[in-house]
Amino acid sequence: MTATLCTPMALRGLTLRNRIVISPMCQYSAQGGIANDWHLAHYGRLAMGGAGLVLFEATSISPEGRISPGDLGLWEDAQIAPMARVAAFVKSQGAAAGVQLAHAGRRAASQRPWHGAGPLGPEDADLRGEPAWPVVAPSALAMAEGWPVPQALSLEGIAQVRADFAAAARRALAAGFDVIEIHAAHGYLLHEFLSPLSNTRDDAYGGDRARRMRLALEVAADLRAIWPADRPVFVRVSVVDGADGGQTVEDTVAFARELKALGVDVVDCSTGGMLGSATASRVPRGPGFQLPYARAVREGAGIPAMAVGLILDPHQAEAALTEGDADLIAIGRTALDDPNWPLHAERALTGDRWDHWPPQAGWWLERRAASLRR
């Protein structure tokens, strides 16, 4: 038996062993942006679970671009070696290693979710030594009531953002990553430039759709030029804001066409995040609820699309691929619940086999299965 979900996929000079991708999920567990043993164990177990690509969490390009004090970073050279250690182990287990580069914009200086997920305040500084820092955005519009009003970026500030993305990409290359993903979704800085809800500028970076897209496209062009020609570049988007007057499917398809022209290889299709929590929108949620958005981008822009969002069952994932909704399937919380989901999916779709499991586990499990059959 064969299944599309379990077949390799070539992206430039990189071949993924299957179509399953671990979606970036913030762990909020770094100190000074530096990866530690938590990240080694977390990403290591996801790679051992059989995914084709493990995308590391949103990794900040600058200290002020962090979502929280616990974010990973690639804003200084001291962060390269700890990330390289984790990436090397992921690759040793047969998965490709990717990193999502991000700037949080007006969502920066936030508490870790288990500390409340609100803006950092005096109590965070007093209790945990985690003071807030100034935040920036396209326009001086707070994300929500009770959140700080960001400083609108000057043209010099925008140029610095581009330089920071480029420097972080070079560090990601030095750390040995196979893939970089540019985070332009979920209400973070590049998405804030794309959306008319958060970008009210009247200069070259705001106004009509072409000007709102300008910074994200400049960053994509910069990183495509830096990243080796044999390695793919992904961009994560919120296909719709899910709010009145926000980003539309048509806007995102137009953006995806421009990304394709620049040499971007995959558009990672999510939704929401402009208002409220980073994944909030009015898009009704249910199994595979974002698949239609991935299909719209895939068909409208003629670019490979990655689908994410409550993809829970291997047969559901297989149908999404065979029916043309997406080219890659990303799982997030599903993988936190079961890091071996990709391996279980392969057995569910292709039969009772253990040869793709790490031998340290597969050897035992194969014998247990034989014993149970007897």
- Rounded Cα distance between 116 and 47, Å, is 30
**267 burial type by CB count under 10 A (0-12 exposed, 13-18 middle, 19+ buried):** buried
Distances (CA, A) of 75 to 61, 72, 103, 116, 125: 5, 9, 11, 26, 23
Residue 73 phi, psi dihedral angles, 5° rounding? -145, 155
Q: What is the token pair recorded at 109?
A: 């200086």
Beta-bridge partner residues of 14: 11
Give the number of other CB atoms < 10 A from CB of residue 43: 24
Asked if residues 234 and 182 have their Cβ atoms less than 8 Å apart, the reply is yes
Q: Specify whether the CB–CB gap between 288 and 313 falls below 8 A.
A: no
Nearest to 95 by CA among 142, 157, 52, 134: 52
Other Cβ atoms within 10 Å of 316 Cβ, number: 15
Annotated catalytic residue: which of 28, 43, 188, 293?
188
β-strands 14-16, 9-11 pairing: antiparallel
Listed in sequence order, the residues at least 6 apart from 126 whose beta carbon sits closer than 8 Å to its beta carbon are none
Element of type H or E holding 294? helix 291-301
Q: Which of 201, 197, 261 is nearest to 235 (CA)?
A: 261
Decide: residue 191, CB within 10 A, 0-12 exposed, 13-18 middle, 19+ buried. buried
Judge whether 188 counts as a catalytic residue. Answer: yes
Catalytic residue IDs: 188
